[in-house]
Amino acid sequence: MTVRSYPTSVPPAGEQSVWRILTARGSLARRLDWPLLLSALVLTTLGILLVYSATRNRTDLNNGEPEFFLMRQLLNVSIGLGLAALIVWYGYVRLRAAVPLLYLLCVVLSLLVLTPLGSTVNGSRSWLQLGAGFAFQPSELAKIVVILAMALLLAAPGTNERRHGPDHRTVLQALLVAAVPAALVMLTPDVGQTMVLAVIALGVLAASGTGRSWIVGLVTLAVVGALAVWQLGLLDEYQINRFAAFANPALDPSGVGYNTNQARIAIGSGGLTGQGLFHGSQTLGQFVPEQHTDFIFTVAGEELGFLGAGLIIVLLGMVLWRGCRIARDAPDPYGTIVAVGVVAWVAFQTFQNMGMALGIMPVTGLPLPFLSYGGSSMFAIWIGVGLLLAIRIRTLTRM
């Protein structure tokens, strides 16, 4: 065992607080989960480049300014990194006291979306216009809030005293907490974000030790509910068309199936090493709609090729692996549940986004974590990273 020696001289009085931080159980930099943080930073950097490639020639979107989306994405990333740093500094334990207020704010914002203050994009009334061309999507905040609020209930003192997981009453309370934001998101209607919230709820319940009968029952109920929604015609026409195009890609290749057909062409044209960053023919030709948001993976596949797209998958896998390790080693049930909630969210959203680009999942309008253009999604995903880092830091501090 190596024994490290540290200077014993006492620093000036004004520097003692900094001295304590740097010498007590190692510096903050040494306690960060660097594989997680570096993977997230590389993914975000790649996303900035891919967004620029997808939008620099889109004069119909950038008002003749090639760097328009680039500069806005840099701003989004800067704010996201700031939020992550704030979470790390504040700590996930102290954040528990603010969860009820955050939950109330999330519900209020989700209700405002349904009023004339909300705006519709691609058939979903999911946005609040903030002026000056900026908009906010409350459903992104709902992902964080649902994780924190459910964890607050399921990890409450006494909940797991018998080591059989939370009791039925607590599980029902947690489900109600998740159901309110999910119902409001579904009313917009946004099937994709509702699916993410459902997966988060299942992941959180599983992490809390909830009985298998609950999990199986909820999955069964979700399947029955989805079939009922379809049979009763509660979906909008554009949503029905998307599922129909997924079931039969040749149904309307120039209409509802156009997006997925062009996405597969773009990815397939990249080959092993790609056509080169900023040189994708499909991207330059603007053949793939929503390429800077929902279909950003097609830019990677075309311009970076199989190797570049594979690197993105590996980096996302690294984020998920580190998240699982953090959940396993968390110093308290609350940290474990929060970490699993973040992992479940990122895993499902990644699979869904890449799946719809490859044609193996229906188009639902979900962004690819870290890479897609968008402020709300970038803020949320980096808050999620901040929570994982904060849990990791507390774990090492208590060792």
Query: Tokens at residue 91, please?
Result: 């700590």
In this structure, are residues 353 and 371 in contact, taking their beta carbons and an 8 Å threshold?
A: no
pLDDT digits (tens, 9 = 90+) for 54-112: 999 888 888 889 999 999 999 999 999 999 999 999 999 999 999 999 999 999 999 99
Cα gap 85→163, rounded to integer Å: 35
Domain chopping of the chain, boundaries: 32-397
In this structure, are residues 283 and 293 in contact, taking their beta carbons and an 8 Å threshold?
A: no
Q: What pLDDT sits at residue 132?
A: 64
Cα gap 218→226, rounded to integer Å: 12
CB neighbour class for 35 (10 Å; exposed up to 12, middle 13-18, buried from 19)? middle
Closest to 108 in 3D by CA, of 74, 142, 132: 142
Calculate the alpha carbon distances from 13 to 6, 16, 19, 20 in Å: 18, 5, 10, 11
Q: What are phi and psi of 130, to 5 degrees?
A: -105, 5
pLDDT digits (tens, 9 = 90+) for 216-255: 988 888 888 777 766 666 566 656 666 656 656 655 555 5
The gap from C-alpha 361 to its chain's centroid, in whole angstroms, comes to: 18
- Residues 71-108 as b/e (b if ≥16 CB within 10 A, e otherwise) read ebbeebbeebbebbeebbeeebeebeeebeeebeebbe
Closest to 239 in 3D by CA, of 230, 248, 231: 230
Partners of residue 124 on adjacent β-strands: 121
Q: What pLDDT sits at residue 212?
A: 87
For residue 9, the 8-state DSSP code is P
% the chain with pLDDT above 70: 83
Lowest mean pLDDT among 19-28, 100-109, 148-157, 285-294: 19-28
pLDDT (average), residues 121-139: 78
Omega before 253 within 30 of 0, i.e. cis: no
